[in-house]
Structure 1
Amino acid sequence: MHEAQYDELTQLARELNRRKREAGEIITANTLLRVATELLLRRRSELHGNTEAELLISLK
């Protein structure tokens, strides 16, 4: 993971925590990584390509 990606995930986690209306589980960058991983695994049949760019395009 690139440093900029981790920084953006951390910022997104902070934003999501601020938007929460109820107390509960704290959302972290790792939480978002687990969510992203689960989504990727659920959509595995849609993945096609030989490069990172091609894989990203196949999921759009």
Structure 2
Amino acid sequence: MDVVLVQWPAEAERLAALRADEVPRLLLVDNGASPPEPEDCLEDWVRVPASEAEVHSRLAGLSSR
């Protein structure tokens, strides 16, 4: 399953649409911003900048759900 990357908080409206469509998503949380509360198991977040390994690990976790 494809996981969509979402810039948080810049893409808050896009996040709402993806949540409504139940699309798996990884939020890339800006440094200094608070991540939103996940609404379901199809969402995870990582604070940026993040290592490539951390991003891939979170993407793999979401893909397997």
Higher helix share: 1
TM-score (norm 1): 0.31
Higher strand share: 2
* Larger RCO (alpha carbons 8 Å, 6+ apart): 2
TM-score (norm 2): 0.29
